[in-house]
Amino acid sequence: MRGGRVVKGVRFREHVVVGDIIELATRYRDEGADELVFYDIAASPEGRSVDRAWVRRVAAVLDIPFCVAGGIRSVADAEEVLAAGAEKVSVNSPALADPALVDRLAARFGSQCVVVGIDSETTPAGWRVHALTGDPGRAHDAGRATLEWMREVQQRGAGEIVLNCMASDGVRRGYDLAQLAAARAVCTVPLVASGGAGTVEHFAAVFTDAGADAALAASVFHSGAIAIPALKAALARAGIEVRR
C-alpha cells in the first residue's frame, strides 16, 4: 500500500500501482486466498503508523483473515488496527528499533495476533536483517543475523514469522528454499515464505522442500500470471493440503 493504492516493486524498488485496495481484496477473497497481508510500506520510513481509514474499509468487505503492517510502534497503535477489523498485526522495522515491543504486543493480544516480518538480504556475511525497506534511500542493515533475530522474536512472543527473502523478491525465480529451510529449523511458530514466487512449482517446492506453513505472493497474483483457483488445484494434486 502507498497513498491508498496497492503497489508492487521489484526487490523493494520501483514500485508501481497495481490497483484499488477494495477491488483487489475482494477479488482475491473470491478467488480463494486464505489470508491477505497489507503492508503500508511508506509508514515506517515516513515516521507514521498505518492509516486506520483503509483498514476499516477493508474490514467492511473482507470476511477472511487479514494482517496489517506499517509503522505499528505501540500497543495503542495495534489496538486501533485490530479494533478496525484486522486479525493480526505485523511488525518489522519498529520491532528492530524496540525489540520489547514484541513482548508487549504478545502480552496484550496473545501471540496469535503478533506477526514479525523479517526482510532478509543475502550478503557475503550471510543472511542479514534489513530495516526501513519500504524506502530504497533509507533501507539499511539492521545489525542482526536473520536466524538469530528469528530466535529472539519467538522468545519474545511472536506467533508467526513472515520471512521475506529480499534477493528473490519480485523476480519470480522461486522462493529462497535454502534460507527458508534454515529458518524452518529454528522456527517453532508458523513460518510464512515470501519473495520469489513465479510458477506453480515454486509454490509446491516451498511446502515440500522448505517446510513452510504458508506461502505469500504478490507479483504473480497482481499480474494475473497465476490464478489462485488453478494454483490450489495444482497444489492439491501434488498432495499438499489446501482449502478448497
Partner 1 sequence: MIVIVDYEAGNIASVLNMIRKAGGDAIVSGRADDIKRASKLILPGVGSFDHGITHLQAKSLPSVMRERVVAGVPLLGICLGMQLLALRSEEGVQPGLGLIRANFKRFGRPDLRVPHMGWNTLNVTRKHPLLDNIGEEDRYYFAHSYYALCEDPADVLATTDYGGPFVSAYAQANVVGVQFHPEKSHRFGLRLMKRFLEM
Stretch that binds partner 1, among 43-51, 57-65, 174-182, 224-232 (CB under 8 A): 57-65
Q: Smallest Cα–Cα separation from 86: which of 114, 47, 48? A: 114
Query: Counting contacts by CB under 8 A, is residue 57 touching partner 1?
Result: no
> What is the rounded CA–CA span in Å between residue 32 and residue 107?
32
Residue 210 amino acid letter: A
> What is the rounded CA–CA span in Å between residue 148 and residue 153?
9
> What is the rounded CA–CA span in Å between residue 193 and residue 134?
18
Query: Counting contacts by CB under 8 A, is residue 243 touching partner 1?
Result: yes
Per the DSSP assignment, residues forming a β-bridge with 140 are 131
Tell me the closest approach of the beta carbon of residue 162 to partner 1, in angstroms: 12
Query: Counting contacts by CB under 8 A, is residue 100 touching partner 1?
Result: no
Stretch that binds partner 1, among 103-111, 167-175, 194-202, 221-229 (CB under 8 A): 103-111
Query: Counting contacts by CB under 8 A, is residue 112 touching partner 1?
Result: yes
Query: How does 89-125 read in b/e, with b if 16+ C-beta sit within 10 Å?
Result: bbbbbbbbeebebbbbbbeebebebbbbbbbbbbeee
Interface residue with partner 1, options 19, 26, 34, 199 (CB under 8 A)? 34
Stretch that binds partner 1, among 63-71, 166-174, 217-225, 230-238 (CB under 8 A): 63-71
Interface residue with partner 1, options 31, 98, 135, 213 (CB under 8 A)? 213
Query: Counting contacts by CB under 8 A, is residue 22 touching partner 1?
Result: no
Stretch that binds partner 1, among 8-16, 39-47, 105-113, 200-208 (CB under 8 A): 105-113
- Report the interface residues with partner 1, using CB under 8 A: 29, 34, 56, 59-60, 63-65, 79, 82-85, 87-88, 107-113, 159-160, 187-191, 213-214, 243-244
